[in-house]
Structure 1
Amino acid sequence: MLYDIRLTIDYDFQAPAAGARQILRAMPMVIEGRQRLIAGSVDVDPQPAMLAEREDFFGNRLTEMAFNEPHSNIVMALRARVEVTSGAEPRAASVDLPSLARAIEAETDLGPRSPLHFLAASSYARPDAAIAKWARHHLRTGEPCADIVAGLGLALHREMRFDADATTVDTPAAEAFANRHGVCQDFTHIMIIALRSLGIPSGYVSGYLRTLPPPGQERLEGADAMHAWVSAWCGPGVGWVEYDPTNATFAGTDHIVVGYGRDYADVAPVRGAMRTAGGQTSNQSVDVAPVSE
């Protein structure tokens, strides 16, 4: 599938910011055999004093910017064309949990996609007794790792209610789980905590999702949003698989990867600091359009 992606993020400040530094993580990744970035650009208004691109430890593309002059708003506009040729579902039989534990013990690689980085607690995915108990309840003896991933994702999808107004970016995953509602970030963090409690290395995937309008209606441009789902390591024979618990499916050609991390903190679309007084408001608009349209 070939997609054109448009993202606009704008910030308005109650009082002018005297200076700021921002990092934008929104450009689709290049993933060999799965995803190809054909073209991409980032425009920023007002023009920053410094604009540079680099990759972080996990291989995510960053756009860094610095503002030295007072400004009352920032508009970041990304445009990209990307081709997605395959998904991240399991393509071979995976091992059971005891075999997975032995494989993890034998791991010596500390590179960006090493499973060893994705087992311990992280900022947004801290151990929770209720989530761990829920995960064990859904576990069947001898079940292969990839089946555990799919089973927990499906169970979470059935038991949680998607509610765009129920949580904020700082709502703890344990609270969203207790209330059984939240957004894709909550679904993803809960599933990460559940899988890690069973000894399955798990991380956070940030990206875009092609969405389809209701039958008989036209697709609304700019009505989409950035999405999140789970990456889980199921042993050396299978490697990393990706599951979207919000939609109860393995990541397919409708899922466009922007970044990998241990949780949201590693892949937040915008991070930064500024010198200002008062509050701010922000808006985000995303459009994912198949080029064939």
Structure 2
Amino acid sequence: MRLHVVHETEYEYAPAVKTARHLAHLKPLDGPRQRLLSHSLTVDPAPPQVKEAPDIYGNIRAFFTLTSAHHHLKVVADSVVETTAAPAPAHDMPWEAVRERMRYHRAAHYDPAAEFSFDSPYVPRHDDFVDYARASFTPGRPVLEASTDLMHRIHADFEYESQATDANTPALESLALRKGVCQDFAHVMLGCLRSLGLPGRYVSGYLLTEPPPGEAKLVGSDASHAWVSVYLPADTTGPGEWAELDPTNDRTPGEDYVRLALGRDYADISPMRGVIHGGANHTLRVGVTVMPVRS
């Protein structure tokens, strides 16, 4: 499937911002199951230059600096990607065996995925997560089966409510509230996995949505999305694979998903962040449009 994604971010400042430095994670991933066919990043007012560089996880970040006063900033990322659905993984390793693989043992093979089993800024390891996850992770249960059950339970137990949390809400607070948005559901699921010693990654991106029957799709009506990938080690010492799960929609992501970036949590790969001098008051508008490209 070919998908056209337009992600617009607009700031209005009062008083004017004198200088600013920004970092953007707005370039979709390019890999085996997702090919990036085209991408452009337009910034208004235009900076002297926009530099791109990969981060530690392979995501491409854009950096730009604005040195003149401005009351308005608009950043538009325009991308076309070709996506392919992942085959269903066949994996029956018990979750306890996966946890043991991630533990440090002298002279043992190091698996880089172990990094994603530790705390991160928004997702601490905590007994409250263990208590919630225990019903899914029963003794000897395969890790993918247990993780899928955890996804089902989060979807059933948590209420989607956009005003209940914000971008800075910690995962433990979301767990206690039993409500939030896709970012919160992903963070809670990651907290459960990591508190059991299992690696889990935060995935940001987009989801193709369909309007109600008889209604036209509104430009800018989509939104950024977030989900989780769970690590499935190989039987040998070779690299394992990652299986993606979406607790917000209770499904496995398919070709209607666009992967933007991978990290430990939202703090690693927020779409836009920066440091500004001035602009004490500001308003933010974000609009996302995901449309299929008809051949």
TM bin, normalised by shorter chain, reads over 0.9
Alpha-carbon distance, 1:138 to partner: 2.6
Match of 1:240 among 238, 242, 260: 242
Give deviations 1:5-58, integer Å, cap 9, x for gaps. 1110011111111111101101111012x0000011000000112311111111
Counting only pairs closer than 5 Å after superposition, residues 102-251 of structure 1 correspond to structure 2 as: 102-105=100-103, 106-109=108-111, 114-237=112-235, 239-251=241-253
Quote the Cα distance in structure 2 between the aligned partners of 1:142 and 1:214.
43
**Partner Cα distance (2:28, 2:38) in 1:** 10
Q: Which moved more, 1:154-163 or 1:43-52?
A: 43-52
Distance 1:107-1:218 versus aligned 2 partners, 3 A rule = farther
Matched-pair contact (CA < 8 Å) for 1:223–1:287: yes
State the distance in 2 between where 1:178 and 1:260 align. Answer: 26
Structure 2 distance, partners of 1:62, 1:9, is 16
Q: Distance in 2 between matches of 1:47 and 1:93?
A: 49
Deviation at 1:90, TM superposition (A): 4.3
2:194 counterpart letter in structure 1: R
| Distance change (3 Å), C-alpha of 1:291 and 1:277 | closer
8 A contact 1:203–1:231 mirrored in 2? yes
Would the aligned equivalents of 1:19 and 1:274 in 2 still touch at CA under 8 Å?
A: yes
In the alignment, the residues of structure 2 paired with residue 273 and residue 2 of structure 1 have an alpha-carbon distance, to the nearest angstrom, of: 35
Q: 2:81 is matched with which residue?
A: 82
2:9 is matched with 9
Shift of 1:277: 4.5
Q: Deviations for 1:132-179, whole angstroms, at most 9, x for unmatched residues?
A: 201013322211011111110110000001111111111122222212
Answer yes or no: is the 8 Å Cα contact 2:36–2:79 preserved in 1.
yes
- Contact 1:90–1:146 (CA under 8 A) maintained in structure 2: no
In structure 1, the residue corresponding to 2:218 is in which secondary structure? coil
In structure 1, how many angstroms separate the alpha carbons of the residues matched to 2:249 and 2:178?
15
Describe the superposition over 1:53-77 as per-residue Cα deviations: whole angstroms up to 9, x where unpaired.
1111111111110011111111001
Preserved CA contact (<8 Å) 1:118 1:202: yes
| Secondary structure, counterpart of 1:195 in structure 2 | helix
> Can you give the 5+ residue segments of structure 2 that lack an aligned partner in the other structure?
none
Asked if the contact 1:160/1:181 (under 8 Å) is kept, the reply is: yes
Structure 2 partner of 1:38: 37
- Moved >3 Å (runs of 4+): none
RMSD: 1.5
Deviation of 1:128 after TM superposition, in Å, equals: 3.1
- Name 1:23's counterpart in structure 2: 23
**2:158 alignment partner AA:** M
Give, in angstroms, the shift of residue 117 of structure 1.
1.3
> Percent of aligned pairs with the same residue?
34
Q: Distance in 2 between matches of 1:256 and 1:233?
A: 19
> Which is worse superposed, 76-85 or 122-131?
122-131
The equivalent of 2:291 in structure 1 is: 289
Deviations 1:97-151 (A, max 9, x none): 2321333244425xxxx21210111101012332220101332221101111111
- Alpha-carbon distance in structure 2 between the residues aligned to 1:107 and 1:96: 19
- Listed as ranges, the matches of 1:60-71 within 5 Å are 60-71=59-70
Measured in 1, the distance between the counterparts of 2:27 and 2:155 equals 28
The aligned runs of 1:270-281 (5 Å cut-off) are 270-281=272-283
TM-score with structure 1 setting the length: 0.94
Q: For 1:107 and 1:30, locate their aligned partners in 2 and report how far apart those are by CA, in whole Å.
A: 29
Task: Measure how far apart 1:219 and its partner are.
Answer: 1.8
| TM value normalised by structure 2 | 0.93
Measured in 1, the distance between the counterparts of 2:263 and 2:272 equals 14
Q: Report how far residue 284 of structure 1 moved.
A: 0.5
CA distance in structure 2 between the partners assigned to 1:82 and 1:218 by the alignment: 23
Residue pair 2:102, 2:197 contacting (<8 A) in 1 also: no
Summarize deviations over 1:175-230 as a string: whole Å, max 9, x none: 22212110000000000000111221011001011111123322222100010000
Distance 1:185 1:142 in 2: 30
For 2:131, the aligned partner's letter is K
Query: What is the alpha-carbon distance in structure 2 between the residues aligned to residue 156 and residue 208 of structure 1?
Result: 20
Are 2:54 and 1:55 equivalent residues in the alignment?
yes
